[in-house]
Amino acid sequence: FVQGKEPQHFLQLFKGKMIIHLGGCDSGFKHVEEDEEAGRASGFKNQQAEDKKANRVRMYQVKGTNELNTRAVEVDASAKSLNSNDIFVIKGPKQLYIWAGKGGSGDERELGKKVAKVLEPKSAYTLVPETKEPAEFWEAVGGKQEYASNARLQEESPAHPPRLFQCSNASGNFRVEEINNYTQQDLIEDDVMLLDAYNEVYIWVGAGANAEEKKQILVTAKEYLMTDPSGRDPDSTQLIQVKQSFEPVTFTGWFMAWDNKYFQNMQSEDQMRQELAKQNAAVVIDLKAAEEQEDSFDNCPKFTLAQLQAKEVPEGVNAGKKEKYLSKEDFEKLFGMPYEKYATIPKWKQDNLKKKAGVY
């Protein structure tokens, strides 16, 4: 099975005690029976001894809706890995914490306690509610830092769960497909992805995404918001573009066990520097401005006057703005002025001129 895509019947074997360690070693997967101490693999014991010797801290993100589908995944032992929507177990050489995010459920807290017992059966844990962290806790995770936390992540059961869509034209047509039970591994570097977090909609741009995909995703995002049956206001929903390898915590917080090093082997340092120089890591997009730029006179494809006056206008032509699809020469000949001057006159005058020219 692929990590993060384990089927239900596989997860049930672990009875809510599946622990995935960083590094991919065999000891990362443990099926703990009733006698948990006897069930420990020797490899895991060696790992614990090495951790204590090196004063190493380990952090595990606990997520699930019940004890049959819950898992604990090791993440970087840093405050940046915390997420208000989940429960975390932090195991140090002398301390054992259960950090409870505001959006973590009671069931997840109970399962976090089970995970803590599996990791350290003879040690007592300290329950740390979010915003109630003592100084020793922050010291254990390398100091206080920004982490994924907003109003929606602090909801135990959000009314509108996040959704991820893959957007690609690899087949020749631009296709959008939803990915269920998504993980970070579903972010394809040759495509663009749309992550709907309801209050924000993120456009993730892979390093290998082509120009047409980047253009089409803006149109798709607008249509997606305008046709959303949930009744949200498209004008109050932020559209944010995110570049591969430069994802902010507001984006990564919607993924289980986000790995900041995951894309490093997929993109060279030179490519990353070039992409970063072109555009900021996360940019709020003004849909209206983007649409106006795409619909500008110079950006519109050009057709003959006869084509624009026909009953069936060419594909892709906005029937209400036919004049923008004329060449500069044809436009000036038909309207007696350059488009720049035409754009400054009142709309009613523009409409009269279009009627006379037969492109209304």
Q: Are residues 82 and 106 in the same domain?
A: yes
The model carries a pTM of 0.66
65 is a domain residue: yes
Say whether pLDDT at 31 is over 50. Answer: no
Which residue blocks in the chain are alpha helix, DSSP H?
A: 8-12, 42-53, 106-119, 135-140, 211-226, 249-252, 269-278, 287-294, 305-309, 328-335, 339-342, 347-357
- What is residue 280's three-state secondary structure? coil
Q: Are residues 132 and 173 in the same domain?
A: no
Q: Are residues 312 and 340 in the same domain?
A: yes
145 is a domain residue: no
| Enclosing domain of residue 126 | 8-140
Written as one string, the DSSP assignment of 58-102 is EEEEEE-SSTTT-EEEEE-SSGGG-BTTSEEEEE-SS-EEEEE-T
List pLDDT tens digits, range 164-204: 999 999 888 899 999 998 999 999 999 999 999 999 999 99
Residue 167 phi, psi (nearest 5): -125, 120
Residue 160 phi, psi (nearest 5): -130, 90
Euclidean distance between CA atoms 172 and 175, whole angstroms = 9
Q: Picking from 14-18, 151-155, 195-199, 331-335, which range would have the lowest pLDDT averaged per residue?
A: 14-18
Pairing of strands 282-284, 238-243: antiparallel
Q: How far is CA 155 from CA 81, 103, 231, in A?
A: 18, 5, 20
The reported pLDDT for the residue numbered 33 is 42
Q: How far is CA 332 from CA 80, 310, 329, 339, 351, in A?
A: 59, 20, 5, 7, 16
The reported pLDDT for the residue numbered 34 is 42
Q: Are residues 212 and 326 in the same domain?
A: no
In terms of Cα–Cα distance, which of 110, 232, 65 is closest to 159? 232
Q: Are residues 174 and 271 in the same domain?
A: yes
158 is a domain residue: no
Total count of domains within the chain: 3
1 is a domain residue: no
Q: Are residues 203 and 108 in the same domain?
A: no
In residues, how long is the chain? 360
- Angle at CA of residue 61, ends 47 and 128, nearest 5°: 100
Q: What is the CATH number for 203?
A: 3.40.20.10
Q: What is the CATH number for 320?
A: 1.10.950.10
Q: Are residues 181 and 218 in the same domain?
A: yes
Residue with tokens 């699930």: 64
78 is a domain residue: yes
338 or 49, higher pLDDT? 338
Q: Are 18 and 11 in contact (CB under 8 A)?
A: yes
Please say which residue of 82, 106, 140 terminates a domain.
140
185 or 287, higher pLDDT? 185
Q: Are residues 209 and 256 in the same domain?
A: yes
Q: Are residues 136 and 225 in the same domain?
A: no
313 or 223, higher pLDDT? 223
In terms of Cα–Cα distance, which of 163, 167, 137, 138 is closest to 152? 163
